[in-house]
Structure 1
């Protein structure tokens, strides 16, 4: 089920109040147009109706993709120390409040993820929508990322998986919020990692660079 509320936001530039629709939960299977707005960075974008001042409004959202068995919980600006404070039983309780008991018996077949960064939220939406395993994608990013100065001719902060065109994907190198280079993503590459690293995958709710580092270190 998709749930939303109408909020009124005061523009920091002209102090005019404008309405803004905030989505506490999104069923991407039943409302695919909202999934596309997430991917396009539009769902959390606010523009003042008086002066047009743009800004992003970040708030907690539960994203449900029935087709790809995904429950993705976006918690903005969550510090690492707050991870342990999130109890999955509370998340499950919230899911049941939104979806009722329709999916409670099939939770063991779902992927549950928690993210605190908008870019990571959008990335995981795209990964699962393409039918890939985000754990393998994170391992690909960690292993394929150049780490020695002599291996790279540009500076970058991190890599992100993203869609290019209708059916192609690639890894973008991001530096100061700008894409500075790219690396081709291929099915052959993904299948290689699938055959090599599937045995290392666990059921963590937090699948990110730190998870990939720990997984490789343990493996």
Structure 2
């Protein structure tokens, strides 16, 4: 079941102190409600009951999906100690895919990737290539890129991209054959499933350089 703790928070807007629930561990099969809240981006949302100040709370959270053999550690600071504690809480980790993410948005994306049956290493390679192409065409920096959707019927992978200085994302898509080529590349590189892995654009760049 999902593990919840209660903490007192001081509102940055009005200074009022109120109790708030924090979900520090989520079991996808045992508590689908919290999984849905994570996916619709309300799980980490906080609103002050006194002045209605709104903010996103970002705190360590462990997400596990037994059906897919997946364990994701959200550690905003990337602290090793939080990863160690996650390992200690779940000693029987053999055979699981273990991922480290740094933000709620990355947690949501990682869950969507694996629930779509995709390889996240290969998908990061696709994102890297798409981001470099977009930067070349737009003549601006891409700050973040997120996986959005996959459709076998439409032969399509969709992504949202946040350009430097822009609040609203632009949307880009590629054909599934681009992912399939990246998957073959990912299978040829030396990537070992051991411990909590930070699978991101930096890793994709390193593996492609091999």
TM bucket normalised to smaller: 0.7 to 0.9
1:173 aligns with 2:161: yes
Partner of 1:30: 30
- Name the count of aligned residue pairs: 203
1:109-156: CA deviation from partner (whole Å, max 9, x where unpaired): 210011112322221121112221111111111122235865336553
1:69-108 maps to which residues of 2 (within 5 A)?
Answer: 69-78=69-78, 85-86=80-81, 90-96=85-91, 104=92, 107-108=93-94
Conserved? CA contact 1:142–1:213, under 8 Å: yes
Partner of 1:60: 60
Partner of 2:198: 206
TM-score when scaled to structure 2? 0.83
Structure 1 residues 150 and 128: alpha-carbon distance in aligned structure 2, compared to 1, 3 A threshold:
closer
1:1-219 maps to which residues of 2 (within 5 A)?
Answer: 1-78=1-78, 85-86=80-81, 90-96=85-91, 104=92, 107-147=93-133, 150-152=136-138, 155-163=141-149, 170-175=158-163, 176=165, 178-200=167-189, 202=191, 203=193, 205-218=197-210
Cα deviation for residue 186 of structure 1 reads 4.5
Q: Which runs of 5+ in 2 are unaligned?
A: none
Cα deviation for residue 169 of structure 1 reads 5.2
Comparing 182-191 with 19-28, which one deviates more in the overlay? 182-191
Aligned to 1:43, the other structure's residue is in SS state: coil
Q: What's the RMSD between the two structures over aligned residues? A: 2.7
Conserved? CA contact 2:44–2:104, under 8 Å: no
Structure 1 residues 181 and 6: alpha-carbon distance in aligned structure 2, compared to 1, 3 A threshold:
same
Q: Distance in 2 between matches of 1:121 and 1:177?
A: 22
Q: Which runs of 5+ in 1 are unaligned?
A: 97-103
Cα deviation for residue 65 of structure 1 reads 1.0
Aligned to 1:151, the other structure's residue is in SS state: helix
Structure 1 residues 15 and 88: alpha-carbon distance in aligned structure 2, compared to 1, 3 A threshold:
closer
Cα deviation for residue 19 of structure 1 reads 2.5
